[in-house]
A and B are shown apart, each in its own frame.
Chain A
Amino acid sequence: MTDNTEIPNIPQAESVPEKRTTISVVWIIPILAAAVGIGIAVQQYLSEGPSIRIAFRSAEGVEAGKTSIKYKEIEIGKVTGVTLSKDYSRILVTAKMGKNTEGLLVNDASFWIVKPRVTLSGVSGISTLLSGNYIRFEPGTSKETGRDFVGLEVPPPATSGLPGREFVLRSDTLGSLGVGSPVYYRRLNVGQVISYALAKDGRSVDIRIFLNAPFDRFVTSNTQFWEASGIDLSVGAGGVSMRTESLLSLLVGGIAFETPASPAGNSAVADNAVFPLSRDQATALSPREADAERFALYFRGSLRGLSVGAPVDFLGLPIGEVTGVFLAYARGEESIRTRVEIVTYPFRLFEPRGKRDAIGGRRAPIRERRESIQRQVVGKGLRAQLRSASLISGQLYVAFDYFPDAPEAKIAWERKPPDFPVVPGEMASIPSMLRNLLAKLDKVPVEEIGNDARKAIATLDRALVRLEGETLPEARKTFAMLDRTLEHVDGEIVPEAKKALEELRRAIASTERVLADTDNTFLRPEAPGQQDLRDAMREIARAARAVRALADYLERNPSALIRGKTREKP
């Protein structure tokens, strides 16, 4: 740099300023914003629960963004969308669940829409009148988590979290039961029906019940359930019977159970154990199938008045019932006869204790033993018979009784069920009246009466013979002598002779009467004729004695006829 004015073409050197830090502090602002934004995003993400879908048949009152999902009255989620399913048959409700709900969202969790409900067994969901419908959630018991659910159309009963157990009852029909129907134990309301479903094969209905603790422990392997629905009115051979468990069950149906004492012992049962549901109490408490003996009976004649369910009596005690009434073709005889199938529980009537060794214990004895016992009793004349339970209703029942005179028969064991020998049924009550009459007639001592009569006749016969053979000739002789000596007879003999003659006449008259009445006298048990006869005989005997005395006297003192009776007595 020597001269800086004379050289115009030389450019002036620039001083390049030091570049200061190029990153401005202003960048803190976006970094801060980003930090806050990310923070919020992370928080949002973390606080966000799973998203689920629930399919409902109808989503009444469910609105996206408004309707909440509640569990124990606390909001745990919110409906975010309500859409139709692809086939337009269902409503798909999408919901965002709250944080920490993963554990609750198991496969069998249930959802249902809460709305005001008025049912016979209660009023629920009143709060929704103000707050609008919401979706109730109830966790399930499964361990697997799920995200797609099918909503319930009707709320399950509020049993979740309550101590108790569930059981399944299998029934032919639902009867008058419904969700919420009470379950009774000794007429205490101890639980309720929580759901029901048709079995997969469509042959039965599975009814799920919940029993509150501690009543669930009364359910054991031996427990019998029956329907206590409404009024149980039955007209059977036993008459008309009506029973109901409670007024509520009258309206909404119900189930009752009882655990009969069992020799097999009452072992505990697992949850969800399946029990049969009987039609009524009598059926439920009838003995187990294991003790059942099934027989077929072939009758001739009308079965009118015999219905399925009619009782089977053994010596007047109920031991079973009729399970079927059919017609059957008798092959050997080319005819149609009636076939009655019965089930009996013969061993339930034996006293449980004490007779154990004799009959095989409280449990039915083993099959061979049973058969041998039955063979013996049939050999002694045990037969089945149709009897009339009541003249008015004309109901018939099957009775087992001993008929020692019945023709020999055997149980046809080879058949299934075995044939039990029968005797013809007796008609109504007329035969029994006749039987009574015959029994009374049997008591009449006909033989004795006959013997007495025969004895009386023999006596009479003898008397007559004597009268004829001995007395009469003598009398005639006497009369002749009398006749001859009549004029000599004076006052002393006349009264005696007159008396003797009078008696003789009376005796003869009596004899005639007796002879005339003999026929009647024989037939009557308390026959006065006998007495008369005896009296008559006595009279005759007395007359004969008098005559003999007279004859003897006359023999010893023939002069008496002329002179009259001399005084002998001092």
Chain B
Amino acid sequence: MTRPLLTGARAGVVPCAACGLLSRKHGPEEEPGNCPRCGEALAFRLHDPIQRTWALIIAASICYLPANLLPVMTTKTLQSVVPTTIIGGVVRLYADGSWVLALIVLVASVMIPLGKLLALAYLLITVQLRSVRRRRERARLYRILKAIGRWSMLDVFVATFSVALVRFRPFMSVSPGSGVLFFTAVVILTIFAADTFDPRLIWDSGGTPRGEK
């Protein structure tokens, strides 16, 4: 067994998230107390990260189903009323020949949210199992997650713009479907989930006194 590396938590030193002042923990309790300079509550780790992240992931997963099953956009023309789901839109774009657009929508609206949910779940599970393997890769995965999360809103933007711009009543009009609400919820929830996850947990399994068996 290698000698455990020194971390802030192990040394009982915690930086203030608001002003950056390094301070020792207040007492023997888990909670380190408040920052002596700015009064911000200090914490070795984010508050209850695993449970919160799980909750958000599950909520996002629940929303993911209606987001894909319900139409995000309803196009009304003189002859027809065509509701479009996300996948339906992808298929139609592809069928119309614009496979690049289809790919973009597919990646941004289907793969990224789904990938985020799966990645976060993977991170959480490995943290809870106190796995020590591939921790650097997991750390990088988390950084990517945080970076791309907001781009999933692309679909919502498209829907919003279409609704606002395509108003040629009575010949043609576009109205938002209920799917777009759920889709927005998925994107927002996954962003929050990525934020509530504390990447330091990945490393906590290695060499923490609690981690020792």
Contact = CB atoms under 8 A, between A and B. Distances in A.
Do A and B come from the same complex? yes
B189 interface: yes
Contacts of A33: 58-60, 62-63, 185, 189
A21 to B, nearest CB: 10
Interface stretch (B34-42, B48-56, B94-102): B48-56
Contacts of B78: 130-131
A23 B55 CA distance: 10
A30 B65 CA distance: 13
B51 A17 contact: no
B66 interface: yes
Interface string A22-56: 11101101111110110011001000000000000
18 contacts: A14-B28, A15-B29, A26-B51, A26-B52, A27-B55, A33-B58, A33-B62, A34-B58, A37-B62, A37-B66, A37-B182, A40-B178, A41-B66, A65-B82, A66-B79, A130-B78, A131-B80, A132-B80
Contacts of A32: 59
A29 B189 contact: yes
A131 B56 CA distance: 45
B107 interface: no
A30 B212 CA distance: 33
Given A40-B178, A41-B66, A29 B56 contact: yes
Interface in B56-94: 56, 58-60, 62-63, 65-66, 70, 78-83
Contacts of B83: 65
B79 A132 contact: yes
A17 B29 contact: yes
Contact of A30 (B29, B59, B79): B59
A24 B66 contact: no
Contacts of A17: 29-31
B82 A30 contact: no
A342 to B, nearest CB: 66
A292 B7 CA distance: 120
Contact of B52 (A24, A36, A131, A132): A24
A24 B29 contact: no
A29 B29 contact: no
Interface of A: 14-15, 17, 22-24, 26-27, 29-34, 36-37, 40-41, 44, 65-68, 130-132
Contacts of B65: 37
Contacts of A34: 58-59, 62
Contacts of A22: 51
B28 A15 contact: yes
A30 B55 contact: yes
Interface centre among A29, A32, A67 (most CB of B within 10 A): A29
Given A17-B30, A33-B185, A41-B66, A26 B80 contact: no
Given A66-B80, A66-B82, 8 more contacts: A24-B51, A30-B55, A30-B56, A33-B63, A33-B185, A65-B82, A65-B83, A66-B79
Interface in B160-184: 178, 182
Contact of B79 (A31, A40, A41, A131): A131
A73 to B, nearest CB: 14
Nearest to B56: A29
Q: How large is the interface on B (under 10, 10 to 19, 20 to 34, 35 or more residues)?
A: 20 to 34
A220 to B, nearest CB: 49
B89 to A, nearest CB: 12
* CB-based closest 5 A-B pairs: A30-B59, A33-B59, A30-B58, A132-B79, A33-B62
Contacts of A36: 63
B62 A40 contact: no
A442 B73 CA distance: 110
Contacts of A27: 51, 55
Interface string B120-161: 000000000000000000000000000000000000000000
Given A24-B51, A37-B65, A29 B80 contact: no
Contacts of A24: 48, 51-52, 55
A137 B82 CA distance: 21
Nearest to A23: B51
A37 B185 CA distance: 11
A29 B79 contact: no
A11 to B, nearest CB: 12
Interface string B4-42: 000000000000000000000000111100000000000
A31 B58 CA distance: 9
A37 B30 CA distance: 38
A14 B185 CA distance: 44
A79 B178 CA distance: 21
Contacts of B60: 33
A29 B55 contact: yes
A45 B178 CA distance: 15
A34 B189 CA distance: 13
Nearest to B83: A65
Nearest to B31: A17
A429 to B, nearest CB: 76
Contacts of B63: 33, 36-37
B50 to A, nearest CB: 9
A40 B70 contact: yes
A135 to B, nearest CB: 13
Nearest to A128: B79
A40 B185 CA distance: 14
A37 B183 CA distance: 12
Given A15-B28, A65-B82, A131-B78, A26 B62 contact: no
A48 to B, nearest CB: 12
B61 to A, nearest CB: 8
Nearest to B53: A26
B119 to A, nearest CB: 18
Nearest to B179: A40
Contacts of A40: 66, 70, 178
A130 B55 contact: no
A344 to B, nearest CB: 66
A27 B56 CA distance: 8
